[in-house]
Amino acid sequence: MTRHFTDIDDLSREELLEVLDRAADYKRKQRAGTPHPDLERQTLGMLFQKPSTRTRVSFETGMTQLGGHAVFLGERDIQLGRGEPLRDTARALSGYVDAIMARVFEHANVEELARYAGVSVINGLTDDAHPCQTLADLLTIRETFGELEGRSVAWVGDANNVARSLALGCALCGIDLTVATPPEYALDDTVIERADSLGRAPETTDDPDAAVAGADVVYTDVWISMGQEDQRDHRLSAFEDFQVNEELLANAADARVMHCLPAHRGEEITDEVIEGDWSLIFEQAENRLHAQKGLLSFLLE
């Protein structure tokens, strides 16, 4: 049966842990120089409507390390639903590749690809969700603390697509999540309800100091995402008390800090924190590679 990965809860808890186990094994093999061509001669088609550094390089490198091949298809290379209906693109590509990864604006586009494709479709990011990032986040937390169950994460800032997928991933793994946002940028009720149905709804607050107290991990992301540039002044004003800095971390005892990158240094997070002993940010970035390899082998083997 063809499996798709449009959001993190397309996996059960057991399947999610299996993907993380595969990712950890691939990371050990990569660092030991042990070849692992488990997807030899398989091809990943990569559809990009939004540009990216980490998504493109990690998927392309991951397929190479797994013995396969990745094909980059940007907006100029494919219609992405403009000239050709997306359902036709999905069916045509299914005759050429073994899986499709799509990084697009509208979540409905990934869902339509999955509906019509005859191969696995992976969400590389949409405006609603970023499940591949959540895989890397959970792998990083498990590496750092040993277990996921019972750990605590504080999200500080905008409850964006990264936060929404993280909420579902934390619920699946038994992590206590608190989301601190200005009221107008709070986590959607539908996401809270989905997380609750998976086992654990996040706590929500507008007080970042309270959110980080006792947290194992403090996590933030940009306040102004791609396509929101016209909201810049309003957002900077709304989030001015939500910066992850040394003062905030003084309330968090021994917490580690995560950020999915790219970071706007001096806005949502300071240089001192990114470069300090708190930071797991670049381990987290590397883990995109290993987590996606775990996902690809889970879907395609």
Buried (b) or exposed (e) across 271-289, using 16+ Cβ within 10 A? Answer: eebbeeebbbbeebbbbbb
For residues 117 and 125, give the distance between their C-alpha atoms in angstroms, rounded to a whole number: 18
Whether residue 103 lies in the annotated active site: yes
Q: Active-site residue among 54, 103, 164, 200? A: 103
Q: Active-site residue among 56, 142, 164, 288? A: 288
Q: Active-site residue among 260, 284, 290, 292? A: 260
Whether residue 107 lies in the annotated active site: no
Whether residue 82 lies in the annotated active site: no
Q: Which two tokens stand for residue 111?
A: 């869902």
Whether residue 264 lies in the annotated active site: no
Structural contact between residues 117 and 88, judged by C-beta atoms closer than 8 angstroms: no
Q: Active-site residue among 49, 65, 133, 292? A: 133
Q: Active-site residue among 4, 22, 56, 130? A: 130
Q: Active-site residue among 42, 221, 256, 284? A: 221
Which residue stretches of the chain are H helix?
A: 13-32, 54-65, 86-94, 107-116, 131-145, 161-173, 189-198, 208-212, 232-238, 246-249, 271-274, 281-300
Active site (catalytic) residues: 103, 130, 133, 221, 260, 288
